A and B are shown apart, each in its own frame.
Chain A
């Protein structure tokens, strides 16, 4: 048995890499053999892992999903694909959560932010220099497309308030709070749970500076509100926002979303 493009195959004793390529993906110009690109033909052996790639080719939805499923635990992909997750704010937290969830293969991401990409954002937010001046929601959608073109995205260039929150996030199963200002965090929790008391929220609080990343934890309130952070490091002069700690919190949030989807959040 060998593994070709993440699928197990029976093979013939006399098979070579080039025979396999011609049978499976004749236009492939790159062959990865047990983790290394190989330039020459050779015979294959039991347990080999082979990947054929056509440089620059975008895989079909089915093909990409097969490749993704192969690296997830069994049963994860089906449930992840059915999920609708909202992210309120597309700054350091929101953009990193969006990318983690896109790589997971979440079915639909509902992304809201009123802001524009500025140079100072690039120290921690998941944007690129050429995106300066774009709206953050357009820029993150573009970046998600480059990672996984089959994630459905719904973007809202809007300043969220208690009136529009229920409308923008009406379809989400889980809402991730990724705001900067504490009164906005409070507004979002109160507005969302008022309309959707049976859904889940994953919030952040306390992520500034470069204090010990081990202090960042998640805590549950009630049964449906999670808060990730050290819970007291607010941004202030001398206590800036930097990529590593913001990233730790964002990925804690993304992991909590995955746990909730899989019903393993308790």
Chain B
């Protein structure tokens, strides 16, 4: 299936994916992120139950730290 992730089209061999599977494929830390699917925020508890369809538009926000000693951040999206 083809998904638009943070504005970029990406193709995946799998024909069935949920949000959790996708985040694992992208190797993203589940705790640092928020996910928007087709303009709605999907809470983390629903990642595994939310199937993705071909042509879905997904935004993944990866937060970086502000306060004391936090690991150095990576560019988000």
Within 8 A of B (CB), among A213-248: 221-225, 227, 229, 231-236, 239, 241, 246
List of A residues within 8 angstroms of B31 by Cβ: 182-183, 186-187
Cβ-neighbour of B70 out of A180, A193, A246 (below 8 A): A180
- Determine the distance from Cα of A233 to Cα of B73 in the docked complex, in whole angstroms: 7
A interface, size bucket: 35 or more
A104 CB, min distance to chain B CBs, angstroms:
23
Residues of B close to A235: CB separation below 8 A: 65-70
User: Are B74 and A186 in touch, CB under 8 angstroms?
Assistant: no
Query: What does the 1/0 interface line of A190-217 toward B look like (CB < 8 Å)?
Result: 1101100100000111111000000000
Render A22-44 as a binary contact track against B, CB cut-off 8 A, 1 for contact.
Answer: 00000000000000000000000
Which residues of B are found within 8 Å of A232, using beta-carbon distances?
64, 73-76
Determine if B64 and A193 form an interchain contact, defined as CB atoms under 8 angstroms apart.
no
**Which A residue's beta carbon lies closest to that of B37?**
A222
Main secondary structure of the interface of B (DSSP, over half): loop
Are the CB atoms of A221 and B59 closer together than 8 Å?
yes
A181 touches B33 (CB 8 A): no
A181-B41 in contact (CB<8A): no
Q: Say whether A190 contacts B45, CB under 8 Å.
A: yes
Contacts of B77 in A (CB 8 A): 231
Contact across chains for A186 and B44 when beta carbons are under 8 A apart: yes
Select one of B44, B63, B64 contacting A233, CB under 8 A: B64
Tell me the A residues contacting B by CB distance below 8 Å: 91-93, 179-183, 185-187, 189-191, 193-194, 197, 203-208, 221-225, 227, 229, 231-236, 239, 241, 246
Having A180-B67, A225-B41, A235-B68, one finds 7 other A-B pairs with CB under 8 Å, namely A181-B70, A186-B34, A222-B40, A233-B64, A233-B73, A234-B66, A246-B66
Give the A-binding residues of B (Cβ under 8 A). 29-34, 36, 39-41, 43-46, 59, 61-77
